[in-house]
Amino acid sequence: MKYFKPISILAPAAATVFSTALANAQDQTAPSNVLTGPGDVTNLFCGVLNWMFWGLIVLGIAMVLVAAYGYATSSGDPERAGKASKTLLYAVIAIVVGLLAQGVPFIVASFFGVNLKGAC
């Protein structure tokens, strides 16, 4: 019987939260004309690519920190140091690929004489 007491306290609280959220959701109207033209699609695509780029950079930096922690805690164990080395290598490759992917369109456009200031 001791397990029913927390549930009996949490159930009304959860019901209150969900009913309030549902009432607020019913008052909202769906947006109309979210994408009104090709420029909006381009802006949406560029925004998604920008989020993915920064996510890759943050993930790469986090993996560099994980590799550094692996080196610091390897205590001379060659297997753990090798695993940390591979993690560091893959993290650096991810960061370099992300930076190249962000810069290559501008490099290619400069060869063709195209100005990409209005693009992503």
52-95 confidence digits (pLDDT tens):
888 899 999 999 999 999 999 988 889 999 999 999 999 999 99
Residue 20, domain member (yes or no)? no
In a domain, 103, yes or no: yes
In a domain, residue 31? The reply is no
Residue 117 lies in a domain: yes
Residue 109 has pLDDT above 60, yes or no: yes
pLDDT tens-digit readout, 28-62: 676 666 777 766 777 777 778 888 888 899 999 99
The answer to whether residue 21 is domain-embedded is: no
Count how many domains the chain has.
1
pLDDT tens for 6-31 read: 555 556 666 665 666 666 556 667 66
Range of the domain at 94: 52-120
Domain membership flag for residue 23? no
Residue 33 lies in a domain: no
The answer as to whether 87 is a domain residue is yes
Using DSSP's 3-state secondary structure scheme, residue 104 falls into helix
CA dist 120 and 118 (Å) reads 7
Q: What is the pLDDT of residue 91?
A: 94
- Got the DSSP string for 25-75? HHH----S-S--SHHHHHHHHHHHHHHHHHHHHHHHHHHHHHHHHHHHTST
Phi/psi of residue 2, each to 5°? -70, -20
The reported pTM is 0.59
